Structure 1
Amino acid sequence: MTNSKYKHIFFDLDRTLWDFNKNSEVSLHQLYRDYQLQTNFGSFLFFKSRYEYHNGKLWNAYYQDRIKKEDLMYRRFYLTLKEAGNDDLDLAKEIAQDFIDISPLQTATFPNTLLILEYLKNKAYQLHIITNGFNEVQGKKLKNSKLAPYFTEIITSEDAGANKPTTQIFEYAFAKTGATANNSIMIGDDLTTDIAGAKKVKMDQVFFNSNKIKHKDKPTFEINDLLEIKQIL
């Protein structure tokens, strides 16, 4: 039975439906091979760990408006290479572009993603994506993973001019979809962006805690498997 309180369901994409970690690792592995980066790093795991370190720091800077998108996209590779003794800006930019081209081609999704989307679609809910990811990759991820047909609107931080957890991106999403905080629910994996952002606009939330991390937050609902959404909606 459809939960009559909700009409609109907003999903995060990365690490909620699209398996970001798995797909990123496949893409990085291809770059590591194609550019023979073992010369600099010795092992893929070392390359991956240093990339993830710099990528994480730069995303935090991006969220705080201390760095532009274009800089983030190449600097994460430039700083990784530079740390290994390869101070080559042109190479970093080439690798960065390849990463943007390769990563959206990966199609790994979390277990039961298609099953739960089919279930919700059949229940006549309006499904939307709300993501901090970049326009040029998020749409391709959805298409290549065969997720796109399930969603009515794709809300990106670029289009909204603001990132989760700001109220602006949620207000933009409401305006674009005709939804309200009262008839919507947010499903995502990140307490600081998805859950905190939804709380700011007084929208109910589902915390997708696939890794069963311990926390002191109090989301409206918490699940470990996407199929558990059936118990809510």
Structure 2
Amino acid sequence: MENKGVKAIIFDLDNTLIDTHGAGEVALLKVGEFLKSSLNLDDASTETICSRFKQKLYHEVFNPLSGKTIDQLRSQHWEESVRETVGSCPGESFGSDCYRLWKSSRLQLLTMSPEVQALLVHLRTRYKLLLLTNGVTQTQREKVEVSNSEEFFDEVVVGGEHEEQKPSVLIFRMCFEMLGVEAQDCVMVGDSLDTDIQGGLKANVRATVWIKRPGSSESESIKPHFTISNVLELPRVLAQLN
């Protein structure tokens, strides 16, 4: 296939190349088992604690200048979730124990499948590839490391290391400069309409490709150029663009 237009592809990481959601659900089950055995809780109580942790994680605001690390903050999430559900939390380290189990269990599963790895290797023979992921520097760098992502990309950009994250046009422009390409040379691939697709549209990339996960809702205001259900379908989109 001759490359007539697209020169670079920018990929999101979480739930695009690795199944962060699925890994997180498995990790919650592990912590649930630990909670049951440690506190002698029933299923309803353990589910409530895990649900509360998920909500705190979803609404999390991390300030690196607060003097608290992301590990300390998330340990606090677990401690608060236990306390809010059963009225007390046994020992100062219990929240940390829950967090370490959740974190280690999740990281073990954050690997790229052989099929995704093969796809990236193939694409890199024809395009420049850049990984652009939002999030706290420590947590995203840990994911990049355990998934061996760096070996598949020309550049890796973690939003938490910069003043702006997706969907800011500024971070996209920085990515274009790093790759030595123009916006219209690039395709943006990701699972988030609000960050990946909206960011790509605002930055005027040639095309945006939305990976619509099960349960995802479409948006009236954010319209991707292409929608696929799995990143492995990307070659079909590229064939249309080229």
Q: Partner of 2:184: helix, strand, or coil?
A: coil
**Contact 1:41 / 1:47 at 8 angstroms: preserved in 2?**
no
Contact 2:35 2:41 survives alignment (8 Å): no
Q: Distance between the aligned counterparts of 2:215 and 2:36, measured in 1? A: 36
1:151 pairs with 135, 150, 153, which one?
Answer: 153
Correspondence for 2:193 among 178, 191, 198: 191
Structure 2 unaligned regions, length at least 5:
none
2:191 and 2:37 map into 1 onto residues whose CA distance is 32
Which of 81, 96, 99 is equivalent to 2:99? 96
> What aligned pairs does 1:10-29 form with structure 2 within 5 A after superposition?
10-29=10-29
> In the aligned structure 1, how far is the partner of 2:216 from the partner of 2:100?
34
Deviations 1:166-215 (A, max 9, x none): 22322332333333312111100010111111112112311011326442
* Distance change >3 Å, CA 183–CA 137, structure 1 → 2: same
- Greater shift, 181-190 or 210-219, is seen at 210-219
Residue 46 in 1 paired to residue 48 in 2? yes
Does the Cα contact within 8 Å between 2:5 and 2:185 map onto a contact in 1? Answer: yes
Larger radius of gyration: 2
Structure-1-length-normalised TM-score: 0.80
Aligned alpha-carbon RMSD (Å): 3.1
Equivalenced residues, count? 228
Structure 1: state its 5+ residue gaps.
none
Instruction: Give yes or no for contact 1:32–1:38 (8 Å, CA) kept in 2.
Output: no
For 1:207, what is the secondary structure of its paired residue? Answer: strand
Identity of aligned residues (%): 26
Structure 1 position 120, deviation (Å): 1.0
The TM-score, its normalising length taken from structure 2, stands at: 0.78
Aligned-pair CA distance for 1:72: 4.7
Distance 1:40 1:83 in 2: 16
